[in-house]
Structure 1
Amino acid sequence: MSKFITEGFLILQTDFSEDFHARLNDQLNHVYEQEGNPGNNLLPRIREVQQIFDHPVVTGALTSVLGPNYMMHAHRHGHYNEQKIAGGWHKDSYWGYDKMRNHHPWWAMIMYFPQATPKELGPTGVLPGTQNHQTRTFVPDEMPEEALASGEAGTFALIHYDIWHRSTPNVLGKPRYMLKFEFMRTEAPMLPSWDNQVTEWSKPASYTTPIAEHETLWEETWNWLSGRLGSLAKTGSGEPSVVDALAQQLTSDFEPDALNAAYELARHGNAGVNVLMQALLDGDENASRTAAYGLSVAGPDAVPALLSALDDEIPATLVRTIFALSEQQQHAAVAVPRLTELLSFPEDRVRQAVSEALGLIGSPSDQVVSALIQCLQDSDVQVRFTAGLALSRIGASADAAVPQLEIALEDDNRYVRAHAAEALRYIGSERAKDILIDSLFQSRWCSTTTPASTFYP
């Protein structure tokens, strides 16, 4: 877990037989040659894939990072790489979200390789330690520290959703598949969800990534994953000279230094919050975004100032303010009425941020659920499908949303429909389950029906 926090990925291995992977590759070859990429239908089209995600190494790794009730997201994709040139470095999008990226691991991805994948076959490459960085401007294009998800059949990379990664050249020109699945945490951590043997953070002895050191950020992430929300709050002295020096560092053009300053300022109570708020409301985009990360971990002292910032009229500032409040979770419950008012804000991305934040704050549940029912009826598709994910996080307390979720099962957008189904599953009432089962039977997809085999045998 300490390696995942610092480097943003783990390379792990399942122990399926060679025959299992041979059959899986035969099916992949057949489907891709005869039908093309099955996209989101990868799982029902090749049903053995589910066995991968039931494997104890996979479920154990996901539970460790995302908690016991994680969600397999509706988007999944089988990547076929035959390119002899490397793909571009990128972070995956959140399907259109114009949103703040997460430092806390609310999301993760698994990239599974069903065939032996030496480096010549073009495995995925990741830049260790870049999951918390918005840019790559300080990282060389051809850095020797790139990590490759290479190995025998059954190798997979579990990555922080926001890490920089790319496909590497397939110089052998042979088929190379990578099955990409996304996963979402549905509950904030209350206790460590891995076999934890120590309480306090320490950097792993194996850490060798020279990109940047983020000791305070890593410590805070460890504590958050251990159920200690707001662990940095008031652990600093608040001494003016220290705060002034950090204020200067917060505006550094070197992103790692600015990020470290934001997390250190979060230690210094109201003195640190005041500096971070000034940067949040400033016109500099980078400083404003970085300050939002500091405010998100500064504890309850930051909530009143963030609440006042909800009166700002600049959409980007509002999105960052809403993000910082959302990471305060239950400490930000006082902001729910004002957040609900922002559901009439004309800019879509503000309403999208509100929809996500409501699910993370979670209480008072009646107000949150009422607002999310409103989100399910929004004109913007991203507000609607974010509302489904938010209601999944609310779970059983969101039963009042079931009628609107039933309507959302008929939405034009595939992810609104999928997230509505997930919300019904996590709500779990008899009414929710009946609606979900009826919908699933009506939309049943036959995995053996293809243009070449329409109904027989």
Structure 2
Amino acid sequence: MEANTPLLLTDEQMRKFITDGFLILTTDFSEDFHHKLMESLNHVYEEEGNPGNNLLPRVPELQRVFEHPVITGALTSVLGPNYMLHAHRHGHFNAVSNPGGWHKDSYWGYERMRNHHPWWAMIMYFPQDTPVELGPTGIMPGTQNYESRVFNADEMETEALASGNAGTFALIHYDIWHRSTPNLLGQPRYMLKFEFMRTTAPEAPSWNNDEAAWRKPQTVNSPFADHEVMWEETWNWLSGKNGNITDIKSNNEASVKELTMELQDQFEPIALNAAYELARRGKHEDLFDAIQSENVKESRLAAYGLSVSSKEVIPGLIENLESRRVETVIHTIFALGEQREQAKEAVSALNKLLKHPSEKVRRAVVEALGMIQQPTDDVVEGLCHCLKDEDVQVRFMAGLSLSRLGASAEKAVPQLEIALNDENRYVRAHAAEALRYINTEQAKDVLIKFLFNSRWCPTTTKVNTFYP
């Protein structure tokens, strides 16, 4: 294997990622490399403060980190070979003894319906030796698919800590519950957080795959529930298989009536299993009843069931787009997006919703269009309209959706060029990413001009304005 060849994950590691939502891995950089990296971080933080999204150009040693075979292999395995390094990144500095609160990260300041399929991941990198006493990130295993915090103080013993030598990192499902733990030593502790997005749906396993069939890993660290149907469906999705949830085996002996009651259970793991089991059994009418429920949690969970159901549900989902309940419409749009190209007949109706008065509906549409992708001209037209939306979040999601279309989105280049001058940093960044993934001559010309005009000198600071 060549030095820079990605070191792909094994089947067992992928099984652990699916069930637990994270992996703790380690690079093999030298002690001297991390010593220099820490010197650069300390200098930047002491002289300038947190560089935020400019972390890479201000600390260029970090580029080597994200070229390391263990990191590229882990990201390729989970997100596919064309994954995107997102423009948002942050260096977390912790020297206090108080623990942070449990949370899921937002998507650059706004909430959205979260994907169970791993479309997003984060890496949390520790550039110094990080024993437990220095306050590593704490992760609650298996909580990546729960919107609510389902654990309490009695279950804290299951918390996993990203503790280890310099070069240790946590690869996490973007939506997992996590926190900072107390730094009892009072010494500087950095955690460098970078976000990554899958740009294409999986067509085949992108890890070192030997076994085609799903089986649980040797240990499952989540204490809350077995989600065998959901886990197997995720494994199949990552393997490039779509729409075969009815072939999944299940030990659930509950009646349909019991499952519909469990879908309303206040304990989310139980309700989540009910949604997937109803989908597995093809009980679509029960899921359609639930998605129209005034109980927002029940409606959302039904959307997950419909999102993995057979394409037979698509006509009913299209009808649901006319619902007067905004939550039902949003959840329906999510399910259509996860159906991807099978839902192409919904694009016309989705484009009409881009005039909907609710920005939350329009935000859901812009993501769904980027996942459905066909018919291309209609999708691109809709996304170009999104780049002009009054809501900034619709605009910056449009760039990410266009990135997923690649060269077929070339007609969007003129509107993307305008978006490069948007007042919002993420609209500009996502427009640039879209141009990079479109990758035609026209797109590259616009992108190169933008990059030269916005060139930033990483060594120019308030104390070093001219020389050397």
Q: Shorter-chain TM-score category?
A: over 0.9
Q: Does the CA-based 8 Å contact 2:138-2:180 persist in structure 1?
A: yes
Alpha-carbon separation, structure 1, partners of 2:128 and 2:55: 17
Q: Which amino acid aligns with 1:131?
A: Q
Alpha-carbon separation, structure 2, partners of 1:366 and 1:231: 29
DSSP-derived class of the 2:245 partner: coil
Residue number in structure 1 paired with 2:296: 285
For residues 306-328 of structure 1, the C-alpha deviation after alignment (integer angstroms, 9 at most, x for no partner) is 11100012222211110011000
Alpha-carbon separation, structure 1, partners of 2:99 and 2:428: 35
1:94 offset after TM fit, Å? Answer: 0.7
Q: Does the CA-based 8 Å contact 2:314-2:336 persist in structure 1?
A: yes
Residue number in structure 2 paired with 1:173: 186
Residue number in structure 1 paired with 2:439: 428
Matched, 1:29 2:20: no
Q: Which amino acid aligns with 2:281?
A: H
Which blocks of at least 5 consecutive residues in structure 1 are unaligned?
none
Pairing 1:330-341 to 2, within 5 Å after superposition: 330-341=341-352
For residues 102-135 of structure 1, the C-alpha deviation after alignment (integer angstroms, 9 at most, x for no partner) is 1000000000000000000000000000001111
Residue number in structure 1 paired with 2:337: 326
4+ residue runs of structure 1 moved beyond 4 angstroms? 234-237
Alpha-carbon separation, structure 2, partners of 1:301 and 1:140: 43
Which blocks of at least 5 consecutive residues in structure 2 are unaligned?
1-13
Alpha-carbon separation, structure 2, partners of 1:284 and 1:300: 25
For residues 247-272 of structure 1, the C-alpha deviation after alignment (integer angstroms, 9 at most, x for no partner) is 12211121111100100111122xx1
Alpha-carbon separation, structure 1, partners of 2:45 and 2:109: 27
Matched, 1:95 2:108: yes
Residue number in structure 2 paired with 1:60: 73
Q: Does the CA-based 8 Å contact 1:117-1:153 persist in structure 2?
A: yes
Match of 1:410 among 421, 425, 434: 421
Alpha-carbon separation, structure 1, partners of 2:70 and 2:307: 32
Residue number in structure 2 paired with 1:388: 399
DSSP-derived class of the 2:280 partner: coil
Pairing 1:7-406 to 2, within 5 Å after superposition: 7-140=20-153, 143-233=156-246, 242-269=255-282, 272-406=283-417
For residues 29-51 of structure 1, the C-alpha deviation after alignment (integer angstroms, 9 at most, x for no partner) is 00000000000000001111010
For residues 35-93 of structure 1, the C-alpha deviation after alignment (integer angstroms, 9 at most, x for no partner) is 00000000001111010000000000000000000000000000000120100000000
Q: Does the CA-based 8 Å contact 2:143-2:222 persist in structure 1?
A: no
Alpha-carbon separation, structure 2, partners of 1:57 and 1:257: 36
Alpha-carbon separation, structure 2, partners of 1:219 and 1:399: 37
Alpha-carbon separation, structure 1, partners of 2:247 and 2:140: 33
Q: Does the CA-based 8 Å contact 1:99-1:319 persist in structure 2?
A: no
1:456 offset after TM fit, Å? Answer: 1.1
Q: Which amino acid aligns with 2:242?
A: L
Alpha-carbon separation, structure 1, partners of 2:152 and 2:213: 30
Alpha-carbon separation, structure 2, partners of 1:273 and 1:405: 40
Alpha-carbon separation, structure 1, partners of 2:277 and 2:230: 9
Q: Does the CA-based 8 Å contact 1:235-1:268 persist in structure 2?
A: no
1:233 offset after TM fit, Å? Answer: 3.8
Identical-residue share of aligned pairs (%): 65
CA spacing shift, 1:241–1:258, aligned 2, 3 Å = closer
Q: Does the CA-based 8 Å contact 1:398-1:427 persist in structure 2?
A: yes
DSSP-derived class of the 2:456 partner: coil
DSSP-derived class of the 1:2 partner: helix
Q: Does the CA-based 8 Å contact 1:145-1:209 persist in structure 2?
A: yes
1:208 offset after TM fit, Å? Answer: 3.6
Q: Does the CA-based 8 Å contact 2:124-2:194 persist in structure 1?
A: yes
Alpha-carbon separation, structure 2, partners of 1:219 and 1:140: 30
Alpha-carbon separation, structure 2, partners of 1:242 and 1:234: 18
DSSP-derived class of the 2:172 partner: strand
Greater alpha carbon shift after TM alignment, 334-343 vs 245-254: 245-254
Greater alpha carbon shift after TM alignment, 92-101 vs 54-63: 92-101
Q: Which amino acid aligns with 1:228?
A: K
Q: Does the CA-based 8 Å contact 2:380-2:411 persist in structure 1?
A: yes
Matched, 1:419 2:430: yes
Alpha-carbon separation, structure 1, partners of 2:394 and 2:153: 37
DSSP-derived class of the 1:151 partner: coil
RMSD between superposed Cα atoms in Å = 1.5
For residues 422-442 of structure 1, the C-alpha deviation after alignment (integer angstroms, 9 at most, x for no partner) is 000000000100110010010
DSSP-derived class of the 1:266 partner: helix
1:236 offset after TM fit, Å? Answer: 8.3
Alpha-carbon separation, structure 2, partners of 1:404 and 1:318: 28
DSSP-derived class of the 1:183 partner: strand
Q: Does the CA-based 8 Å contact 2:417-2:431 persist in structure 1?
A: yes
DSSP-derived class of the 1:143 partner: helix
For residues 138-193 of structure 1, the C-alpha deviation after alignment (integer angstroms, 9 at most, x for no partner) is 44366101000000000000000000000000000000001000000000000000
Count of residue correspondences: 454
Alpha-carbon separation, structure 2, partners of 1:284 and 1:340: 27
Greater alpha carbon shift after TM alignment, 411-420 vs 92-101: 92-101
For residues 330-389 of structure 1, the C-alpha deviation after alignment (integer angstroms, 9 at most, x for no partner) is 111010000000000001010011001000001111110011010001111000000000
DSSP-derived class of the 2:255 partner: helix
1:232 offset after TM fit, Å? Answer: 0.5
Alpha-carbon separation, structure 1, partners of 2:154 and 2:135: 17
DSSP-derived class of the 2:74 partner: helix
1:242 offset after TM fit, Å? Answer: 3.0
